Structure 1
Amino acid sequence: MKLLLLCLGLTLVCAHHEQNHGVVTSNFDMSKISGEWYTILLASGMKEKAEEQGSFRMFVEYIEALDNSSLLITCHKKINGECAELPFICDETEEGGVYSVSYDGYNMFHIVEADYNDYVILYYVNYHNEEITQGMELYARNPDVSPQIKKRFEELCENTGIPKENVVDVTNAETHSVSLWEIRGCWLTVLCSASADPCSQD
């Protein structure tokens, strides 16, 4: 049942053909996904999960493709007012390109579209108690993303049943957190602790 729901989402979002040079929608080379990323847009069937204090309100820092086909995804999230680093080991399932990870329940996800040098769009299904929630996330190599890519993300969300109103833009930087776009690692933790909104890029 879990895989069926995920495959349904995959079918809906992959109805788009690769029209732009460099855009990939299948057979992803995960080694090219590796590297630093910025969280740009978050979307969820339950919008509160992507909003402030939501369980999926976190910011990706780095993705690493491991030799065993798993992914190491390093994120930052505000927990009890402090900026915490959250490393996730995501194991590839029997369905190639589909990954699973335990967080706020059980999750299955896959990449639906990417330009390795520009952006990646991820689709996930979260199973928590009796609730099933689907969501999407947009990461980019740089914080400045074109309106066309953001619009494409919104279209993919709507194709999976996530309304445009549930898309949350986390790139609206305030003066106290502008440097978060440029500084990583422990420096990020220091800046988060000093900011009014730890771990926020907005």
Structure 2
Amino acid sequence: MKLLLLCLGLILVCAQQEENSDVAIRNFDISKISGEWYSIFLASDVKEKIEENGSMRVFVDVIRALDNSSLYAEYQTKISKEFYLLPMDQRSSELCSFSSTDDGYNVFRISEFENDEHIILYLVNFDKDRPFQLFEFYAREPDVSPEIKEEFVKIVQKRGIVKENIIDLTKIDRCFQLRGNGVAQA
């Protein structure tokens, strides 16, 4: 049953790629994703997942495309006022990929947003208790223009996320003290 649900979710997310015109999706060179990124926004239809101490409240540091068609990413999270480094290896297949977490199965895709300076990670979680969708907006710089922020808000609102469930991460502590040193706190 779990496998069937995962396959259905993967098919639905990948199928949206063709019909969804509100997110800029192109066959981009996955190697262009490599480098430093900054988390700008989190948006979800289940807000507690992205609020402080939420399981999906993470801050991107670096993403690398590896030779074996997988992605390596370093995220940071804040738990009880301490910051921790969260390395992640993820097998990729074009724009769609999947993994398993404590929250259930995640199916996600990475989309360019106008150019290679901004990307959107769109994740659908298939938890048996409470499935949800999540959007993460990353940029090459620590902040972006108000116009770009407005465009992202419009995109996620079209996908059913209410404005109250969009968190502007540029207004909070994003764990910059761990950025680049590769050392997690004990």
Q: TM-score if structure 2 supplies the norm length? A: 0.83
Return the alpha-carbon distance in structure 2 between the equivalents of residues 4 and 130 of structure 1: 21
Kindly provide the CA deviation profile for residues 157-179 of structure 1, in whole angstroms up to 9, marking residues without a partner as x.
12221122211011115xxx59x
Of 9, 16, 21, 1:15 maps to 21
Return the alpha-carbon distance in structure 2 between the equivalents of residues 44 and 99 of structure 1: 19
- Greater shift, 3-12 or 100-109, is seen at 3-12
Are the counterparts in 2 of residues 89 and 101 from structure 1 also a CA contact under 8 Å? no
Are the counterparts in 1 of residues 77 and 85 from structure 2 also a CA contact under 8 Å? yes
Structure 1, gaps ≥5 residues long? 18-23, 194-202
In structure 1, what is the equivalent of residue 47 of structure 2? 47
Return the alpha-carbon distance in structure 1 between the equivalents of residues 140 and 75 of structure 2: 15
Kindly provide the CA deviation profile for residues 125-147 of structure 1, in whole angstroms up to 9, marking residues without a partner as x.
11223322111010011112011
Offset of residue 156 of structure 1:
1.4
Return the alpha-carbon distance in structure 2 between the equivalents of residues 79 and 54 of structure 1: 9
In structure 2, what is the equivalent of residue 132 of structure 1? 131
In structure 1, what is the equivalent of residue 91 of structure 2? 91
| Structure 1 residues 187 and 97: alpha-carbon distance in aligned structure 2, compared to 1, 3 A threshold | closer
| Corresponding position: 1:3 with 2:2 | no
| Corresponding position: 1:145 with 2:140 | no
Offset of residue 40 of structure 1:
0.6
Q: Which amino acid aligns with 1:185?
A: G
Are the counterparts in 1 of residues 96 and 107 from structure 2 also a CA contact under 8 Å? yes
Report the identity percentage: 43
Equivalent positions of 1:1-202 (< 5 A) are 1-7=8-14, 9-11=16-18, 14-16=20-22, 25-93=25-93, 96-103=94-101, 104-114=103-113, 115-116=115-116, 118-173=117-172, 181=176, 184-186=179-181
| Coordinate RMSD, CA, aligned | 2.5
Are the counterparts in 2 of residues 36 and 141 from structure 1 also a CA contact under 8 Å? yes
- Greater shift, 79-88 or 68-77, is seen at 79-88
**SS of structure 2 residue aligned to 1:156:** helix
Offset of residue 107 of structure 1:
0.9
**SS of structure 2 residue aligned to 1:131:** coil
Q: Which amino acid aligns with 1:34?
A: S
Offset of residue 8 of structure 1:
5.6
Return the alpha-carbon distance in structure 2 between the equivalents of residues 79 and 181 of structure 1: 15
In structure 2, what is the equivalent of residue 20 of structure 1? none
Are the counterparts in 1 of residues 17 and 25 from structure 2 also a CA contact under 8 Å? no
Are the counterparts in 2 of residues 108 and 125 from structure 1 also a CA contact under 8 Å? yes
Structure 2, gaps ≥5 residues long? 1-7
In structure 1, what is the equivalent of residue 4 of structure 2? none
Offset of residue 188 of structure 1:
7.8
Return the alpha-carbon distance in structure 1 between the equivalents of residues 85 and 177 of structure 2: 17
Return the alpha-carbon distance in structure 1 between the equivalents of residues 53 and 129 of structure 2: 21
- Greater shift, 140-149 or 100-109, is seen at 100-109
